[in-house]
Amino acid sequence: MSGRSTTGLYRDRAVVLRTYKLREADRVVVLHTAEHGKVRAVAKGVRQTRSKFGSRLEPMSHVDVQLYRGRGDLDTVNQVESVEPLAPMLSTLDRASQGIAVVEAVDQLSLEREPDPLLYRMTVGVLRTIAERPSPLNVPAFYWKLLAAQGVRPELDRCVRCDGVEPEVVLVAFDLNEGGTLCRSCRSGTAISPGALAIMRDILGGRLVQALGREESPVTHEVGSLATRALEHHIERRLRAIAMFEHH
């Protein structure tokens, strides 16, 4: 059972966001937990070949973990068990790249020691979806839903400047600074096609399965590019994973 203990030991479920080296044999593991928000913990000895749980603490792993609350910023990993196998996420480059893009975004939005169970559930859900079916819209849909959960849901059904709605006006542009769509008379920002607008409405309007069924196309790329730019605009920094994939 998850929850904090009076002894300093506590259990939780978590997704591993990233890791980095510490000293000769240890590694710091950055987790987004179900009940404790972002937690940084030392996994001692995991870089040694005889480590019992090093492979369970790779990025994108979904784990059940026992931690000891440290005096400073770092807790200590005492036990860890896999909740779901990581192998499907590493079975193709497409799955792995989508998973990396997901956990990087979560790392940017997760707050230290601030519980965010919705973000945890969303992260687990999208990683499961990627493992089952790497749709070209998995990551863009996740980004749009992240933004909505952060309170910056884009306006897609009216012109954010003149308040005109279809069919009286035709929505032809999307402005990140304005937070939504604009008509021909008010347009600024980036042009948006009717197909891309329809997909975004599906994603944010409760028709996610329908959206994820789309084949890769210029329209799905348009939705993905806009989702990445919108999230980067919100967090005020470039996403490294996306930049790497675009470079290759």
Query: Mind listing the pLDDT tens digit for each residue in 22-47?
Result: 888 899 999 999 999 999 999 988 87
Place of tokens 């309007």: 205
pLDDT over 50 (residue 5): no
Instruction: Name the strands in the sheet holding 190-191, side by side, starting at the edge strand that comes first in the sequence.
Output: 180-183, 171-175, 190-191
Q: Which amino acid is at 236?
A: E
Q: How many CB atoms lie within 10 A of CB 163?
A: 11
Q: What 3-state class would DSSP assign to 85? A: coil
Mean pLDDT, residues 90-105: 95
Give percent of the chain above pLDDT 90: 83
What is the 8-class DSSP label of residue 71?
A: S
Q: 3-85: what CATH class?
A: mainly beta
Mean pLDDT, residues 116-145: 97
Determine the distance from the C-alpha atom of residue 242 to the mean position of all C-alpha atoms in its chain, rounded to a whole number: 12
- CATH 2.40.50.140 residue ranges for the chain: 3-85
The tokens for 113 are: 């020691």
CA distance 27 to 42: 6
Q: What is the pTM of this model?
A: 0.92
Contacts for 93 with CB less than 8 Å, ≥ 6 apart: none
Band (50; pLDDT cuts 50, 70, 90): low
Contact 101, 46 (CB under 8 A): no
User: Pick from 93, 97, 148, 86: which is nearest to 122 by CA?
Assistant: 148
| Helices 194-204/138-149 angle, 10° precision | 60
Determine the distance from the C-alpha atom of residue 228 to the mean position of all C-alpha atoms in its chain, rounded to a whole number: 11
Instruction: Give the residue ranges of DSSP H helices in the chain.
Output: 93-109, 117-132, 138-149, 194-204, 208-212, 218-235, 240-247
